[in-house]
Structure 1
Amino acid sequence: MYFFSVSITFWIQEENIIYSIEATFFFLMVFMLYMIPILKFKPKYLNYIPRNQIKLFRVVSYFFIFFGIISYVYFLPIVYKLFSSGGSLMVLRTDMVGGANYVGEGFLPIILNFTCQFYPIILVFYFYSISYLNNKKIFNNLLLFSSTAYILNVLAAIGRDGFILWMMSYIFTFLLFYSFMTPVIKVKQKKVFIYIFVIALTFLVPITVARFYRGDVPDSGINSLKSYAGAQFANFNNFYNRIDKPEEIGSVNNLLPILNFFDGQSKGNQDFLSNWDNNVFKYGVDPNVFSTFIGSFFLQIGTIRTVGVSLFAFIIGSSLSRRCKRVDFSKLLLITIFSQIVLHGFFYFKLAYTVSFVYLISVIILAAFFKNKLNRK
């Protein structure tokens, strides 16, 4: 994906983009600090979940299934109302960005927004269940079904990210379990992906057309899609070469918003329009365009801190990949959330939300439960 995106960059004609060898080297260096541990993770054997963990596995699975069904009950009417309203999808999306709330307020939407974040982990549970456990077909299907609740969650905001990120996670988990599945299961899962991909097109096509196609400009859709898919590397170069000290205008709180609860509003959380206007006027760049997770880090914490954070991530990732010939279930959970940084950070740092931070902590705790119980056996 990243190679494809960088390749498209050479076809994008933008006179205001500044490229440099230094920016390119920095991008590749940081990228590889995250990718090397992921590429090294090639386990040949997966430890069975012991009996004293099977109950925990089932309890967590039923938790995911329950909230997946509730999410469908809650979000499906909202999605149906939006897409059958006859209104412009572009206008609806713009209104949402401007402050319109289609989902509603209260405790239930907050809980559902949180539980929907677990779709990458639910997919790990699903693939483990179909590969190793003798669970009923309906149980496995409900696990898969519950993972797709995130798609509805995003569609309720007229977004395409749900389909795109879910399919990316499905492919990732399929590859993660590839050597653990029988040939029959592999064929069935490829068919499942094709079915969901076809369904996704019925939503992705109209949303994409509404966002990118202009009737008065014949090539607008193609050019916009090309820019959308290949601008990340170009935008990062522009940021790197135009902004000397991004840490002075950004804030680590924008990467970990939960910190705002402890020290008030961050300096990077000023009024959105004022912040955008100041940066465009001063640096000649729009800070809100896609530049991958590396660009998000650079804009908020600067060059040195980005390298420091990435080196720390490299150490953590390498510890997960070390001696991975045989791994247990808890390590699969941890490598999945580690890989999310790169996989879902293809456009920007997707985990830079309070709910995402709580999700990450929850997965780490869940992995610890599985690990601790295994050690007690």
Structure 2
Amino acid sequence: MNEYIFIASCVVFSFFTLELIISKGVITPFSFLSFLYLSSILGSFFLFAEFSVPYKEYSITATIIFLLAFLIYMIPVSMLNLRKVDDIYCADDKAFFRIGWFLIVTNAFAIIYFIPIVYGVFSSADNIINLRAMVVSQESVSSGGLYLLFSYTTQFYPIMLVFFFYSYLKHPEKKWFNILMLLTSMSYIVNVLASVGRDGIVLWSMSFLFSYIIFKGFLDKEVRRRIKKYFLFLFLSFISFFILISLARFLKGGDYFSLFQSMLIYFSQQFGEFNRYATNIDANNMDFSKIFPILKYFKETDSVSLLDDHFGFLNTYGFSKYVFKTFIGSWYTHLGSIGLLLTVTFISALFSIFMYSFRTKTLSLGVVVVYTLYCQVILHGVFYYKLSYTVSNLYMLTVFLIFIFLHYRVFIKR
């Protein structure tokens, strides 16, 4: 037995169990995220030797760094006590609907923009493996103003799902608004499919479940049943693309066992790969522009192609650094152990102060929006840091602007 996996599993399981006891068995954002990481770590036990990180690549130091970073980042997540919240409110409904319709319209255009690209990809004579390789090597990456604009607008799907649940709770009479908000939130799925990626349906589903957990206690049983049906219908509508891409990329010669292992690697390689990287690489070059690429516009940076970097690293160390190792691994790569822990501590402290400042019996929708953004890092970060793009940084800044509009009644005349 790999004791490092066992130790990490026990620690995360302890906090998961403690949260369930405190919440009296009710699933909370904290327990949901803990369970997600626990499942990912435990999945490492079921990876066969040829698919897993060798035991010698693990270390107690790397394991401690991983657990410390994870638990420190989770502190603000635990500060949302939904059992003590009587209501979720929006200070300015006018702002809510203006922002909501803007998101619906822009993401509807994004879907219209990306659908022809998706059709071209899946009707191409090239096989999916070759198409994906071209995307990774940046040979077929679309560019231009419209592409960047719609890549930016599709980033808002977690916030759009929050808007959907809030509107369904408070404004059930706004049927078209609610339906369109849910449907256009799926623009990100179409965007990712245009790059022959599988992440879209996975991340959208995770965000949907996360928002559902926040709003579940405020919805009656019939509404919850209806929302579950919506989710199941939409999920099944897109899961075929996930299966198709997975089969094309990983099913070789009818070897379904290798396919299963490849699917398990997708979810469970992260803890092992973090250990391998942190054990072998003493990262000490703190480069925040890799985490917040918008900073590149304020300083000069050396540009190295992804493929050159990949093969250069592979030839030097004998393994790839471009694999899933959670957001913690992504940050460690660019910040090192000290930089990682200091950054996680600073961000956690900042958001802890934010959450503490708004601990009332009525919860502002603006606070929910910011909380969702904070949790998005760790929710989607079970794979890797998903916000390391300029459009993602602009999205993050815009979320704080949305918070101001929803919380401080900017559009209401005094």
Using structure 2 for the length normalisation, give the TM-score: 0.84
Q: 1:63-212 counterparts in 2 under 5 A? A: 63-101=102-140, 104-212=142-250
**8 A Cα contact 2:201 2:239, kept in partner:** no
Corresponding residue SS for 1:327: strand
CA distance in 1, matches of 2:139, 2:281: 33
Residue 86 to residue 292, structure 1, CA distance change in 2 (3 Å): same
What is the deviation of 1:86? 4.7
Tell me by how many angstroms 1:177 deviates. Answer: 0.8
Aligned-partner Cα distance in 1 for 2:139–2:75: 42
How far apart are the structure 2 equivalents of 1:336 and 1:376? Answer: 29
Shift of 1:166: 0.4
Question: After the TM superposition, which of the residue ranges 87-96 and 148-157 deviates more from structure 2?
Answer: 87-96
Residues 281, 90 of structure 1: alpha-carbon distance in 2 compared, 3 angstrom cutoff: closer
Query: Residue 164 of structure 1: CA displacement?
Result: 0.6
Choose the corresponding residue for 1:29, options 68, 77, 100: 68
Q: Which amino acid aligns with 2:366?
A: S
State the one-letter code of the partner of 1:95: M
- Equivalence for 1:311: 345
Q: Per-residue displacement from partner, 1:317-370 (whole Å, max 9, x unpaired)? A: 322432254311110011000001100111111011111001000001110222
1:180/1:285 CA distance change after superposition, 3 Å:
same
Counterpart of 1:332 in structure 2 is 368
SS of match in other structure, 1:247: coil
Deviation at 1:376, TM superposition (A): 8.8
Residue number in structure 1 paired with 2:40: 5
**Cα contact 1:79–1:156 (8 A) shared by 2:** yes
Per-residue CA distance 1:66-112 (angstroms, 9 max, x = gap): 1122112111122122223353111111122222336x432222111
Q: What amino acid is aligned across from residue 220 of structure 2 in structure 1?
A: T
Q: 2-side partners of 1:257 and 1:172: how far apart?
A: 27
Question: Contact 1:320 / 1:335 at 8 angstroms: preserved in 2?
Answer: no
- Alpha carbons of 1:90 and 1:54: their partners in 2 closer, same or farther (altered >3 Å)? same
Between 1:332-341 and 1:283-292, the stretch displaced more is: 283-292
Task: Supply the distance in 2 between the matched residues of 1:253 and 1:16 (Cα, whole angstroms).
Answer: 33
Amino acid at match of 1:331: V
Over the matched positions of the two proteins, sequence identity in percent amounts to: 34
Runs of 4+ aligned residues of structure 1 deviating over 4 Å after TM superposition are 374-377
Aligned length: 370
- Return the alpha-carbon distance in structure 1 between the equivalents of residues 380 and 256 of structure 2: 31
Instruction: Return the alpha-carbon distance in structure 2 between the equivalents of residues 218 and 163 of structure 1.
Output: 22
Aligned partners of 1:129 and 1:216: how far apart in 2?
47
| More displaced stretch, 219-228 vs 197-206 | 219-228
Structure 2 segments unaligned to the other structure (5+ residues): 1-35
In structure 1, what is the Cα distance between the partners aligned to 2:203 and 2:194?
15
CA 313–276 in structure 1, closer or farther in 2 if over 3 Å, else same: same
Change (3 A) 1:236 1:17: farther
Give how far 1:18 is off: 1.2
- Which amino acid is 2:205 matched to? M
What is the CA–CA distance in structure 1 between the aligned matches of 2:405 and 2:312, rounded to whole Å?
Answer: 47
Q: 1:49 aligns with which of 62, 83, 90?
A: 90
- Over residues 4-45 of structure 1, what are the superposed CA-to-partner deviations in whole Å (9 max), with x where a residue is unaligned? 111121233243751122211211111011223213312322
Instruction: Report the AA paired with residue 126 of structure 2.
Output: G
Residue 274 (structure 1) aligned with residue 311 (structure 2): no
- Please state if 1:299 is matched with 2:338: no
* AA of the residue aligned to 1:136: K
Does the CA-based 8 Å contact 2:137-2:306 persist in structure 1?
no
Kindly indicate whether the alpha-carbon contact (under 8 Å) linking 1:37 and 1:317 is maintained by their aligned counterparts in 2: yes
Aligned equivalents of 1:78 and 1:251: distance in 2? Answer: 34
Q: Are the structure 2 counterparts of residues 367 and 64 from structure 1 closer, same or farther at C-alpha, using a change threshold of 3 Å? A: same
Instruction: State the distance in 2 between where 1:47 and 1:199 align.
Output: 31
Given residue 35 of structure 1, which amino acid in structure 2 is its aligned partner? M
8 A Cα contact 1:47 1:326, kept in partner:
yes
1:46 Cα deviation after fit: 2.8
Cα RMSD (Å) of the superposition? 2.0
In structure 2, distance between residues paired with 1:166 and 1:35: 21
Indicate the larger mover: 3-12 or 273-282: 273-282
Q: Any idea what SS the aligned residue of 2:176 has?
A: helix
Out of 120-129 and 325-334, give the one that drifted further.
325-334
Q: CA deviation at 1:216?
A: 6.5
Q: Any idea what SS the aligned residue of 2:384 has?
A: coil
In terms of mean alpha carbon deviation, does 320-329 or 204-213 score higher? 320-329
Unpaired runs of 5+ residues, structure 1, are none
Alignment partner of 1:353 is 2:385? no
- Letter in structure 1 aligned against 2:388: A
Structure 1 residues 257 and 140: CA distance shift in structure 2, 3 A: same
What is residue 365 of structure 1 aligned with on the other side?
401
